A and B are shown apart, each in its own frame.
Chain A
């Protein structure tokens, strides 16, 4: 089996909306596939089909080499789902949720309790174990969702926007956890709206928009297409913006952009940052803010499709 999961020409329609219009996804065992796309791109729909919650209208989807439509029951033994929507029961405590899932997975009472406590410990929820999930903070909820997907120790995980709504600290924490799960040999399908997140976690990224794949590759390949990192400089004195731009041009070799008192330019390597600070020092530009950032989802779409608007027709209609 070459791929831990794979879809080919996946199609799903909701009435007149074509949520998926022939999507190919695949991940080799032990890797992370990032599926990057804006609202309404079809990320959740793809995950729900792979997790046997939805039937595709066309195409093929396999998990662990098993067809998700014809052998849904077998597929369910292999997967863990942490959804944007698949969720825990808020009226139960964290422990009750996990014990229930253990019993549904035929662990037996004792084993289910032990497993629940292991997971609560691992995901930093031991102290909150006896509290109702409705009292959990956003970060704790996400960790409990993740733990709920892990009760059967599945080797294939589907994570639908697992960090949406978390503050940066909590997000980094969850990233670390996901990396650990992968280091243990699991395969992960992770959807996200953030290039940064896909870059941080994924071995390969598939970019989808309006139900279609518009790019696929490693993060490095993708960044080559859409431009790598960019450095932005905001001088204390806005009058110095042109001066800062000159430094950026000299060091990066790219034409900088000047607007709103900020000069920015793509850089081919983050190592150029020290040269830029040195250059700014030499030019006596006092810096209020200096940042190195990855292209945003919007930049990615601009590079791939030539326009900024990545919204769906429905959203445009609604606006």
Chain B
């Protein structure tokens, strides 16, 4: 038997392979922008709807409410984008046998998963830029500086990235696409809305207040608010980073493990 012509392993393999798969995912997003547009328009719709419908009632003026709401919507954008699509596309790839092809290749087992999450992060960026543009048109201004604004985006993306691994695990474990979708939605509500994002939380019932205090999204919203509008940041930002790291430390190995065991 002659030797195979596949060249010997080159350094940086995992990164190269993950990037090749990221490119593939982005090509697919370009061809089939449905889910992407969902994740893009939903936050924009929320922003418009909340500000113009409830703004006057909650804060007395729409401008004041926009200032309050925008940082929350920013975090919601990346959280939604993370929860809505990553797990679904992975689930589809597994079912169609595309991942079997990848798994039969001499590439790192986590490369397809990393590729998915990276292409999603690229989408978050587009989404965030759009959101800032819409916010600007509505009258929102960053009151700190560009560095703080970038840090706010980075924090939001980090959390979205970390949370997206929840649906990766679900997408790998569960075969039915519809169920994956349901689980993603069930995850969205407590995470995205059980926060101080839409309105201050002092009037909430006690149990819900306790949840809001734990919810990583709450910390992210507070940190982003501080970064964009000025105010204390350190504690909330640290909590967000710790939460994200905790999610990643638990979920990444779990999904790789589940993915390897999945038939």
Contacts and interface: CB of A to CB of B under 8 A. Distances in A.
A210 B101 CA distance: 26
B12 to A, nearest CB: 10
B104 A92 contact: no
Contacts of B17: 103-104
Interface in A214-249: none
A73 interface: yes
B263 A14 contact: yes
Interface residues on A, range: 35 or more
Contacts of A107: 7
Contacts of A74: 106
B98 interface: yes
Interface residues on B, range: 20 to 34
A154 B4 contact: yes
Nearest to B105: A104
Given A1-B1, A103-B20, A155-B4, A52 B100 contact: no
A5 to B, nearest CB: 11
B187 to A, nearest CB: 26
A86 B5 CA distance: 22
Contact of A86 (B2, B31, B97): B97
Contacts of A4: 1
Interface string B161-198: 00000000000000000000000000000000000000
A86 B13 CA distance: 23
B144 interface: no
By secondary structure, the A interface counts as loop
A73 B106 contact: yes
Given A77-B6, A86-B97, A153-B4, A52 B104 contact: yes
A104 B20 contact: yes
B4 A83 contact: no
Contacts of B3: 155
Given A92-B27, A105-B106, A153 B101 contact: no
Interface in A85-121: 85-92, 96, 100-101, 103-107
A104 B102 contact: yes
A74 B104 CA distance: 11
Contacts of B96: 87, 89-90
B6 A152 contact: yes
Interface in A157-208: 185, 187
Q: Looking at B3, B31, B104, which has the most chain A CB atoms within 10 Å of its CB?
A: B104
Interface string B87-104: 000000100111011111
B224 to A, nearest CB: 34
A91 B105 CA distance: 20
Interface of B: 1-7, 9-10, 13, 16-17, 20-21, 23-24, 27-28, 31-32, 93, 96-98, 100-107, 111, 263
Given A14-B263, A52-B103, A91-B31, 19 more contacts: A1-B1, A30-B1, A48-B263, A53-B104, A76-B106, A83-B101, A87-B96, A87-B97, A87-B100, A89-B24, A100-B23, A104-B20, A104-B111, A152-B5, A153-B5, A154-B4, A155-B2, A155-B4, A185-B2
Closest 8 CB pairs of A and B: A87-B97, A86-B100, A85-B97, A76-B106, A103-B20, A81-B104, A152-B6, A153-B5
